[in-house]
Structure 1
Amino acid sequence: MNPSTEHARLVVDELVRCGVTDAVLCPGSRNAPLAFALHAADAAGRVRLHVRIDERTAGFLALGLALRSGRPVPVCTTSGTAVANLHPAVLEASHAGVPLLVLSADRQPELIGTGASQTIDQVGLFGGAVRLAVNAGLDDAAGRRRASIARLVAAATGVTGGPPGPVHLNLPFADPLVPDDAGAGSVGRPGDEPWTRVAPVARQTGPLPLDPVAPTLVITGHGAPEGLLDLPVPVVAEPGSSAWPAAVRTGPWLLGAAPGLRPAQVVVAGRPTLHRPVQRLLADPEVAVHVLADPRGMPWPDVAGSARAVGSLPPLRPDRSWTDRWQAADAAAAEALDKALDDPAAPGGLRLARELVAALPPGAQLVLGSSNPVRDVALAAVPRPGLTLLANRGVAGIDGTVSTAVGAALVHDGPAYALLGDLTLLHDTTGLVIGPDEPRPDLTIVVLNDDGGGIFGLLEQGAPEHAASFERVFGTPHGVDVAALCAAAGAGHVRVDVPDVAAALAPAPGVRVVEVRANRAELRQGHAQLRAAVEAAVAEAL
């Protein structure tokens, strides 16, 4: 057996020993040893292989698989720019704490800088975005190579005490790159233990110095820990937060809506990123801000530099009048909001989010696109238990979201859906391209198509004084025929109106797109009218 083949088989075998169940592969020449080894492991039932032709899409597919399963997932590429195309997924995994394993094939070190084809300096390519980077040479002893893989997986999963996240294994392969024996391809026996067993490190933090009876508000965002569903204080939670099912439905609308709702102290759990009123509250010098320590060891959020302490949540027993005011305000705001959203002229994204979340079957998974979809759910949907909500909020990009949803659907035991904007769909159309021999999920992607970037109409650049330049450089209309796009990619397609969304969610095989058209021209005015209606209702209730 030639050295490259032996090395690749050892790598794949040790990854399986360390708990890897899915792997993503992109075709190439320099990574041929890994391709043969992964194919053999797939044929033997030791790993489920997913092949993609686009490295950026492959990276987000692996991220989606890891995001939903919690297990480390490798993505394997050839050398050169192929590796660089993984950088967006690596950044998302780094900031979201997702155990992504980058396996990059490489030329021998002596060829770096000689002009050899597809050769760059790959060592350290991802900088500080990865938890650990290893350049694995062919000359190392087998035990040392296995130990380094176990160390990488431990770093990716965070069991050694650091935060979980992506790691990079760079693998220089020398010719020959194809097997020269008749072996099945995998080294070792199924069920073997990892070369190095790593015990998880337990983290403990002291309680926050909170006033237990002060008017307290808990704000939760992406990555919030479990155990926040039964708190005696109001909770404003972003979708995807563990606390969202028990959150105040109209919480984002109520922040700043009335003086009687202003807290004396705030506890932040996870990383809130969606709402400007949240950031204004956290920057208020008269509000004491405290942060729950992340159980995974991720850095605590503190954009305004206002956090007074980081720790665990002590018992709280606020005055009943505080929670009563929030409940009364929420009831009034919800009634006003629903009345406004019943009007077909209300913002289409908010109406769609409300209807979609309400219509999802129990046990469903919903992947939310960045920009407006995740915010629309936060602003309009009724929080409910029994759903799994996911979103790429680590760096909150729109790239790779189709592939993330596909990956998450492949490991979810139940109905799988996604809610995306049209630009998010277009940014990752290759995510719809799944080869005939690849595992294919049952996934319904609901796309709000308002022909451009609707979210920008809600920001400063959407103000009337910028109308002359807005449409071309921010609105960016594209005129793409989504039905034709889906047909070209082999995905199903149906176009419906908001009232018909529930019927379109019936289970169907394969990947399909449910397109909902909307008009973004009145989006800014529509949101302003909704806010005015909510604030008027709250003022009357309080």
Structure 2
Amino acid sequence: MSPSTRLARDVVTALVTHGVTEVVLAPGSRNAPLSFAVHDAAAAGLLRLHTRVDERSAAFTALGMTRVGARAAVVCTSGTAVANLHPAVLEAAHAGVPLVVLTADRPARLRGTGANQTTDQVGVFGRLVPTHDLAADTAPDADAVWPATADPYAVVHLNVQLDDPLVPEDRWVPGPAAVGPGRTRRPWGEVSDVLPLGPRTVVVAGDDAGPPARTLAEQAGWPLLAEPSSGSRTGTHALRCYRLLLTTPLAAEVERVVVAGHPTLSRPVQQLLARADVEVVDVGARGVWPARPYAVDRRCDGGRPGTDGADDPAWLERWRAADRDVSRRLDALLAAEPALTPWEVAGAVSRAVPPGGLLHVGASNPVRDLDLMVAPYAVGDRRMVVANRGLAGIDGVVSSAIGSALGRPATTRALALMGDVTFLHDSNGLVLGPDEPRPDLQLVVVNDDGGSIFATLEQGGPDHAAVFERLFGTPHGVDLAALCAATRTPHWRVDSLPELEQALASPNGGIEVVEARVGRADRRALDERVRALATEG
């Protein structure tokens, strides 16, 4: 057996031993030994193999799988192929998602030379993701392959030096392997800090905060300000319009905030957390940079906070009453609009997620629109809403959504919500070969022909109107139906809420795109009217 074949089989055995059940492979020559070994392991039932023609799409597919509870690895060849993994690797590192990255490399003797497709792949992802550089003579068996110090919630980069010959002499029939556990959510642990009652407190649940944030809010009787992808946006204490309420005098009365997960959606939330007169209790977040960008008064790193009882119910009820009032006026405002709005699209998608369902939401406006329109989900219905909020980029969302749907096989229904620029940025995620596993997934694309989020920011002000479209609005004029036709992806176009609801009620199976056409010209004005609702009257 050649050294490269032996090393590749040892590496794949190590993957299985450490809980990897899904492998996404991008084709190449240098990674051929790994490709053959993964194929043989899949044939033996030890893992499931997926192939993608583009490394960036492959990495985001693996990221999506891992985010929903599977554990996945992405495999690629050397050179620029490795660089195309970088966006997904950074997202995983900052979100604390334990993606496994397996890169093929030339042997060490060719480094520093002009050998074809040879660059410095050791440390290629920077100091945030250490490289474990493997050579045939330094990794004699599976136990030596996997770094003993690897954090189970961190990205693992294995760089595998492979020398000729790259094709095995025989087929590998791996024996039964000890399969390790897949990814589990980092537990909050037991109650380690008892928070005194009295200070007017709210619980902020950012991305991946998990159910304990909701449990704390309910036990203490505190308002819950939970982002859609927090895993906490269920039950009786989650406020729909918290973002709008934080601009009212009610927010000025907050004296303490318990913050969990990674809150990034809302400027009002960030302003609340940065206030000098507010005590911040930090439950912690995963990722390579867990430190908060604001002062923290109390940390609960070793466990989770609790209380000795429930606080004054009047505090919660004031928030609830204000939330009900603003919610009614928001619904009335949107219903009076003559054309379909992005908020209505987000609300319809949220309502379409059944118990046991999955929703993958893209960055920019869609996740913020969803934040105001999430349907009231009951505790225990096991709906999962996920998003790439580690770095909150728009890239890789189509592939991530497909990966999420593939990685959660028990999902009753899978949907994704994203903007048109996000969709275009990863439209090659729809390129799947005829033998590839395909999930049932509806991709709802809110198409306003450009980057409407900038219209709601400083760049969208009247002082910059002369250059806004060229620099920020970036209209593209792409025919999404024709683009979908190129990959034989079924496509619906809808222009009204009833049409959208009909499309959502009639999924065809497989991957399909529902294009919801909305306007962009009035986005800034309509956004200002929405934000003003909480301060009216």
- TM-score, structure 2 normalization: 0.92
Partner of 2:213: 228
Q: Residues 350-379 of structure 1: CA distance to partner in whole angstroms, max 9, x if unpaired?
A: 111112211322222110000011100102
Closer, same or farther: CA 22–456 of 1 in aligned 2, 3 Å:
same
User: By how many angstroms is 1:275 displaced?
Assistant: 0.6
Match of 1:93 in 2: 92
Partner of residue 441 from structure 2, selected from 440, 443, 459: 443
Q: Secondary structure at the match of 2:464?
A: helix
Secondary structure of the residue aligned to 1:240 is: helix
SS at match of 2:150: helix
Counterpart of 2:269 in structure 1 is 278
Q: Give distance in 2, aligned partners of 1:219 and 1:370.
A: 19
Amino acid at match of 1:400: G
- Counterpart CA distance in 2 for 1:283 and 1:337 is 28
Match of 1:48 in 2: 48
TM-superposed CA distance for 1:271, in Å, is: 1.2
Deviates more, 1:271-280 or 1:201-210: 201-210
Where does 1:425-436 land on structure 2 (aligned, <5 Å)? 425-436=423-434
Q: What residue is the counterpart of 1:313 in the other structure?
A: 305
Residue type matched to 1:280 in 2?
Q
Kept in 1: contact 2:350–2:373 (CA 8 A): no
Residues 261 and 325 in structure 1, CA contact (< 8 A), matched pair in contact too = no
Deviations 1:462-506 (A, max 9, x none): 011110000111000000000000000221100112222222123
Comparing 259-268 with 421-430, greater Cα deviation is found at: 259-268
Q: SS at the partner of 2:346?
A: helix
Q: Which one-letter code corresponds to 1:139 in the other structure?
A: D
Q: Residue 185 of structure 1: which of 161, 172, 177 is its match?
A: 172
Report the equivalent of 2:119.
120
Please report how far the alpha carbon of residue 458 of structure 1 lies from its aligned counterpart in structure 2 after TM superposition: 0.3
Listed as ranges, the matches of 1:116-195 within 5 Å are 116-130=115-129, 132-140=130-138, 142-143=140-141, 146-151=142-147, 155-156=150-151, 158=152, 164-181=153-170, 184-187=171-174, 189-192=175-178
Please say if residues 22 and 73 of structure 2, whose CA atoms lie closer than 8 Å, have aligned partners that are also in contact.
yes
Aligned positions of 1:234-253 closer than 5 A: 234-246=223-235, 247-253=238-244
The 8 Å contact of residues 245 and 251 in structure 2, kept in 1 or not, is answered as: no
Could you say if the C-alpha distance between residues 499 and 535 of structure 1 is closer, same or farther in structure 2, counting changes exceeding 3 Å? Answer: farther
Matches for 1:200-211 after TM superposition, within 5 Å: 207-208=192-193, 210-211=195-196
Q: Distance in 1 between matches of 2:249 and 2:39?
A: 61
Distance 1:129 1:252 in 2: 32
User: In angstroms, what is the RMSD of aligned CA positions?
Assistant: 2.4
Aligned to 1:13: 13
Structure 2: any 5+ residue segments left out of the alignment? none
Larger deviation: 36-45 or 95-104? 36-45
Q: Deviations over 1:126-151 (max 9, x none)?
A: 12222x421111013534xx224343
AA of the residue aligned to 1:425? F
Length-normalised TM-score, structure 1: 0.91
Which of the numbers 307, 317, 321 marks the counterpart of 1:324? 317
Deviates more, 1:334-343 or 1:494-503: 494-503
**Alpha-carbon displacement from aligned partner over 1:497-521 (angstroms, at most 9, x marks no partner):** 2222222123322111000001111
Aligned partner of 2:414 among 413, 416, 420: 416
CA shift digits 1:414-446 (9 cap, x unpaired): 211100100000000110000111111111000
Structure 1, unaligned runs of 5 or more: 159-163
User: 1:123 Cα deviation (Å)?
Assistant: 0.8
The alpha-carbon distance between structure 1 residues 381 and 192, as it changes in their structure 2 partners (threshold 3 A), is closer
Cα distance between partner residues in 2 of 1:98 and 1:186:
31
The 1:372–1:260 alpha-carbon spacing in structure 2 relative to 1, beyond 3 Å, is closer
Percent of matched pairs sharing the same residue: 47
Provide the C-alpha distance between the structure 1 equivalents of 2:38 and 2:57, rounded to a whole number of angstroms. 19
Count the aligned residue pairs.
Answer: 520
Q: CA deviation at 1:328?
A: 1.2
Deviates more, 1:473-482 or 1:252-261: 252-261
1:291–1:307 Cα contact (<8 Å) kept: yes
